[in-house]
Chains A and B, each alone.
Chain A
Amino acid sequence: MNYKEFVADAMMNYESLPQETNELYKKHSIHIPFDLRDRFDHSSGEDIDAIEVPYAMRSEFDAVIGSGKCILNNRSIVTVKDSSKLGSRLLEDAAQDSAEDKYAAFINAYAKSTLFVDVPPGMHAKASILFAATRMPLNARVVISIGKDAELNLLELHESTAPGTVIGVMHETILQDNASAEINALHNENANTTVLCFFKDKLGVGANLKFNSVYNGGSHVRARNIVEAGAKNSSAEVNEIIFGSAAQKFDIDTHIINAASDTKTMLRSRAALMGTSRCVLKGFAKVAHGAKRSDSCIHERGMLLGKGARIDSLPDMSVDENSVRATHSSATSQIDSEEIFYLMSKGIDGGRVRKLIVNGFFSGCMEKIDNAAMRYIAMSRINEKLETG
């Protein structure tokens, strides 16, 4: 399939597919009430400088990606290619199947750039990327390839300033044998942005992946992550933090799959919601036949901070092998009034008490993140949002 056919196929699927194709979740999905194609503002020009980048200067990012403009500061491991120049095999490998998901099809149709993060065998690398949607919707594919025995720690910051825009990023992560990676994605888009996230991986023997996401921004946030420990002794860990306010809507669907023997997968999700925000938290743990001595675990926790907030928690599990340890747990509750009373009796005011409790709630997940910049920016953004409501 050449690029033209690939795009035409993606367009057709975007038009024809329903918003949710997974039969299991049809009742439990967040509806995006508009056609994303209407979000394209055809007025030309972009202004990446309009993004206020916290903590690190823009020059400190290895790459800054707008929908039509890319700045590369570290050409050794981060490169960008025009998607139309990719060979058909690479094009299809880098993408998620358009026929399976309406919004994967949307990104496939509109992602003009494909970003490559290549870490050669044995190398230990750090990288950071800023995705900035200012006026036009930003769609990109990211292919992360980590060689044998290599290590990568990647920070992605997703920002937007334009009203009613879209950021859609699709990840394909390949780890060769004994490679290790921590991929961090901080979503801090403005309150009018539609956020689309896709993630899938391919792990070699003994490879070790950690995928951390903080979903803080956006009006409608839709994530479809498939994290598979597919080779012997590989392990994958996903940490998700969702912090909603006002009328934000999150539809986070993460699958963790043990597909080979002696593998380990873990999904930790923490969602705290204020205002009338809503979150559908779908965690699906699958242990495939043959994945002997594997370990699979889902922890979902929800905290409701607003009268109109709502969390739908769906920690699903499918186990097709008996010599495994598969557990999942889920809990949703409000802030404990006794905790508030205790802290206020120590002279701490209400606002600070709320901050302490929310910070404490997220800490179990946050402390699993190794990247200090990710932790710092994420907590500052969450605390800012707590203060402003």
Chain B
Amino acid sequence: MPDTDEGTRALNEEYREKYGFCDVIKYKHVTQKGLSEDVIREISSIKHEPEWMLEKRLAGYRHFVGAPVPKWGGDLSKIDYNDIYYYLKPTNKESSTWDAVPDEIKRTFDKLGIPEAERKFFAGSEAQYDSEVVYSHVKKELESQGVIFISTDDAVKKHPDIVKKYFGTVVPYTDNKYAALNTATWSGGSFIYVPKNVKVKMPLQAYFRINAEKAGQFERTLIVAEEGADVTYVEGCTAPIYLSASLHAAVVEIIARKNAHVRYVTVQNWSKNVYNLVTQRAFAYENASVEWTDCNIGSKLNEKYPSVYLKERGARGSVLSVAIAGDGQMQDSGGKIYHLAPDTTSQIVSKSVSSGNGVTTYRGTIHVDKKATNVKSAVRCNALLLDEASKTNTFPYMEVLSDDATIVHEASAGKIGDEQLFYLMSRGLSEDEAVTTVVLGFLEPLARALPLEYSLELKRLIKLDIAPRSVGQNG
């Protein structure tokens, strides 16, 4: 573990090499900058979409134009919607074998270690490069059980009935400005369908990469787990380091039918020039369980609050959220649980670390409806401030309309104890090593909840993020 300026520089260099690089790609199709009905019709036409999808896109666009920019949270006024490319097509077709992926794109994902990870840890994998999914593969035995794991674009063509039935039902375009923008401009994302009683034992993985400067990525993910089904989905995201800002406004919709279990894991590691404005929501039916594990490490401004609507008796929802805000970053994250039925339970655990002048904000809602009797919910937020310039906020909202709900919320903020540091340093660790050890220990319960590969990656990313703190530089 490095404990010198040189060591820190080495870590930052590694970050640049590993995630912050930029490959030169000749795009097959790029729409003009900015957003208009013509651009949306162009995207829909390139994708050969049915008319009903174009109508949805146009409705989303019209709502986006009129919807106000949220006044809470970070400053979104600097996003210039006319200076963004809304669609960049890197290749003409999606490949199901790695060899068929164009070389220049393959190089990017090879550097990120995607195919290697798939071989070792995942039941299926998908890779999205700017606007389009370039690779999608699911293991044969799952395919034979009826599991579908393809890009959402492909799903519109191959399974229009399922997509039409669920698209926009969990997150309607009227939900917020960025859900409307996504509905208008969506491209790529994952479509997962797990039939009744099928358990997908290994996680499915997707990797999202923004490569072009001034590019927006608006993937749309839809997961349907039928009765008794079980699936874990893991997504990772990176982007090169540019001077201008990029925009990522995804929408994720999950439907977990009776007794189903869905786990959705995100390791968000966008470069620090990306606005990450994502709407993630799940509907959980009778005795179903939905877990969000949300690790936010990258981006300039992150606003993401995974939510679960517990719609039928016995449903369970959980959000585990990690936010790391370094210099110049604002991590506005949290979780929302809506208890709409009796005997539903939920838990939100949020851990955040701020360093430099980074700001972490927990923003969450626990809503208990009138008819939701015997509800139990617990929210715990812990914030760690690593230096004098860092800041943390906590805004939990608890709306209880039922008279027999038990709702508990706890939060704390503080710095690393001098005694902890002293103890570790007396064992021969440098100050940086001691700080990193304490931070990793602080986040350990969440790191443990991740698949092994991602857990190791998360720890590595945290070290990258925390290490420059004490030498006051970012590489």
User: Residues of A with Cβ closer than 8 Å to B?
Assistant: 23-24, 27-28, 287, 289, 302, 304-334
Asked if B199 is at the interface of the complex by the 8 Å CB criterion, the answer is no
A318-B393, A319-B383, A319-B393 known; A326+B412 contact, CB < 8 A? yes
Among the listed stretches B100-108, B292-300, B335-343, B395-403, which one makes contact with chain A, having 4 or more residues with CB under 8 Å of it?
B395-403
Indicate which residue in A308, A314, A324, A331 contacts B413 across the interface (CB closer than 8 Å).
A324
Chain A residues with CB below 8 A from B393, complex form: 316-319
Contact with A316, one of B383, B395, B408 (Cβ below 8 angstroms): B395
Instruction: Collect the chain B residues with CB atoms within 8 Å of residue A318's CB.
Output: 391-394
Q: Which of B398-456 contact A (CB under 8 A)?
A: 398-415
Interface centre among B392, B396, B401, B409 (most CB of A within 10 A): B409
CA distance A312 to B400 in the complex (A): 6
Q: Does B52 contact A (CB under 8 A)?
A: no
A95 to B415 CA separation, bound complex (whole angstroms) = 38
Count of interface residues, chain B, beta-carbon cutoff 8 Å: 33
> What residue in chain A is nearest B416 (Cβ atoms)?
A322
Q: Which residues of B contact A308 (CB under 8 A)?
A: 403
B390 at the interface (CB under 8 A from A): yes
Knowing that A23-B72, A306-B403 touch, tell me 19 more A-B residue pairs with CB under 8 angstroms.
A24-B72, A24-B395, A304-B400, A304-B404, A313-B397, A313-B407, A315-B394, A315-B411, A317-B392, A317-B411, A317-B413, A318-B392, A318-B393, A318-B394, A322-B387, A322-B415, A327-B412, A328-B409, A332-B407
Task: Judge if B386 is at the interface, Cβ distance under 8 Å.
Answer: yes
B385, CB-defined interface residue at 8 Å: yes
List residues of chain B with CB within 8 A of the CB of A315.
394, 396, 409, 411
A330 touches B394 (CB 8 A): no
Chain A nearest CB, measured from B85 CB (Å):
32
B141 at the interface (CB under 8 A from A): no
A330 to B377, CA, bound (A): 11
User: Once the chains bind, are A313 and B415 in contact (CB under 8 Å)?
Assistant: no
CB distance from B230 to the nearest CB of A (A): 32
Interchain CB contact under 8 A, B396 and A314 = yes
Decide: A310 and B400 in contact? CB cutoff 8 A.
yes
CB distance from A340 to the nearest CB of B (A): 12
Interface residues of B in 65-81 (CB under 8 A from A): 71-72
Which residues of the other chain, B, contact A333 by a CB distance below 8 angstroms?
A: 404-407
**CB-CB < 8 A to A24: which residues of B?**
72, 395
Which residues on the A side are within 8 Å of B385 (C-beta)? 319, 321-322, 324
Complex contact B415–A328 (CB within 8 A): no
Would you call B99 an interface residue if the criterion is a C-beta within 8 Å of the partner chain's C-beta atoms? no
Contacts of B392 in A (CB 8 A): 317-319
Q: Which residues of A contact B400 (CB under 8 A)?
A: 302, 304, 310-313, 332
Partner of A312, one of B383, B386, B397, B408: B397
Contacts of A309 in B (CB 8 A): 403
Which residue of chain B is the closest to A306 with respect to CB atoms?
B403
Nearest residue (CB) in A for B407 is A332
Number of A-B contacts (CB under 8 A): 120
Known A304-B403, A309-B403, A334-B403; contact A329-B411, beta-carbon cutoff 8 A: yes
A314: B residues at CB distance < 8 A: 395-398
Provide the bound-state CA to CA distance between A28 and B414, in Å. 28
| Residues in chain A near residue B72, CB distance under 8 A | 23-24
> With an 8 A cutoff between CB atoms, is B388 at the interface?
yes
**Cα A179 to Cα B401 with chains together (Å):** 43
Closest CB of chain B to A256's CB: distance in Å?
14
Please pick, from A323, A328, A331, the residue contacting B394 in the complex, using a CB distance under 8 A. Answer: A328
**Nearest CB to that of B379 among chain A residues?**
A330
Identify A323's interface contact among B383, B398, B409, B415, CB under 8 A. Answer: B415
Write 10 A-B pairs (CB below 8 A) sorted by A numbering: A24-B72, A310-B401, A313-B409, A315-B396, A316-B396, A322-B385, A322-B388, A332-B406, A334-B405, A334-B406
Q: A24-B72, A333-B407, A334-B404 are in contact. Are A319 and B413 (CB under 8 A)?
A: yes
Q: Which residues of A contact B408 (CB under 8 A)?
A: 329-331
Q: How far is the CA of A304 from the CA of B402 in the complex (A)?
A: 8
**Shortest Cβ gap from B128 to chain A (Å):** 35
CA distance A325 to B394 in the complex (A): 14
Query: In the complex, what residue of chain B is closest to A328 when comparing beta carbons?
Result: B411
CA distance A326 to B394 in the complex (A): 11
A27 to B365, CA, bound (A): 12
CB-nearest residue of chain A to B401: A310
Measured between beta carbons, the chain A residues less than 8 angstroms from B402 are 304
Q: Within the complex, which residue of B388, B390, B391, B396 is in contact with A330, where a contact is CB–CB below 8 Å? A: B396
Contact of A307 with B403 at beta-carbon distance under 8 Å, contacts A320-B391, A332-B398 already known: yes
What is the minimal beta-carbon distance from A378 to any residue of chain B, in angstroms? 24
Judging by beta carbons under 8 Å apart, are B409 and A324 in contact? no
When distances are taken between beta carbons in the complex, the residues of chain B under 8 Å from A23 are 71-72
Given A313-B400, A314-B398, also A329-B409 (CB < 8 A): yes
Contact of A324 with B414 at beta-carbon distance under 8 Å, contacts A313-B407, A316-B393, A332-B406 already known:
yes
Q: For residue A324, which residue of chain B has the nearest CB?
A: B414
Chain B residues, CB < 8 A from A311: 398, 400
Q: Which residues of B have CB within 8 Å of A304? A: 400, 402-405
Closest to A23 in B: B71
CA distance A304 to B407 in the complex (A): 11
- CB pair A322 B390 closer than 8 Å: yes
- Please list the 9 inter-chain residue pairs (A to B) with the smallest Cβ-Cβ separation, ordered nearest first: A322-B385, A330-B409, A322-B415, A317-B394, A313-B398, A304-B403, A326-B413, A334-B404, A333-B406
Who on chain B is nearest to A313 by CB? Answer: B398
- Contact A316/B405 with A321-B388, A332-B400 known, Cβ cut-off 8 Å: no
Interface centre among A310, A321, A322 (most CB of B within 10 A): A322
Residue of B nearest to A327 (CB): B412
Q: Chain B residues with Cβ under 8 A from A319's Cβ?
A: 383, 385, 391-393, 413
Contacts of B406 in A (CB 8 A): 331-334
Assembly CA distance A10 to B432 (angstroms):
55
Instruction: Name which residue of chain B comes closest to A317, CB basis.
Output: B394
The answer to whether B395 touches A324, judged by C-beta atoms less than 8 angstroms apart, is no
Nearest-neighbour CB distance to chain B for A24, whole angstroms, equals 7
Pick the most buried of B392, B404, B413: most chain A CB atoms within 10 A of its CB. B413
Complex interface bits, B28-67 against A, C-beta within 8 A gives 1, otherwise 0: 0000000000000000000000000000000000000000
Q: Give the chain A neighbours of B71 by CB distance below 8 A.
A: 23
Residue of A nearest to B361 (CB): A318
Q: Give the nearest-CB partner of B392 in chain A.
A: A319
Q: Which residues of B contact A334 (CB under 8 A)?
A: 403-406
Central interface residue in B394, B404, B408, by most chain A CB within 10 Å: B394
Nearest CB in chain B: distance from A263 CB, A: 15
What is the bound-complex CA distance between A23 and B405, given in angstroms?
28
Contact with A along B365-396 (1 / 0, CB 8 A): 00000000000000000010111101111111
| Assembly CA distance A333 to B374 (angstroms) | 10
Min CB distance B200 to A, Å, is 38
Whether A331 and B391, one on each chain, are in contact in the complex, defined by CB atoms closer than 8 angstroms, is: no
**Docked pose: A324 CA to B394 CA in angstroms:** 15
Query: In the complex, which residues of chain B have a beta carbon less than 8 angstroms from the beta carbon of A323?
Result: 388, 415
Closest A residue to B70 using CB positions: A23
B409-A331 in contact (CB<8A): yes
Chain B residues lying within 8 Å of A322, measured Cβ to Cβ, are 385-388, 390, 414-415
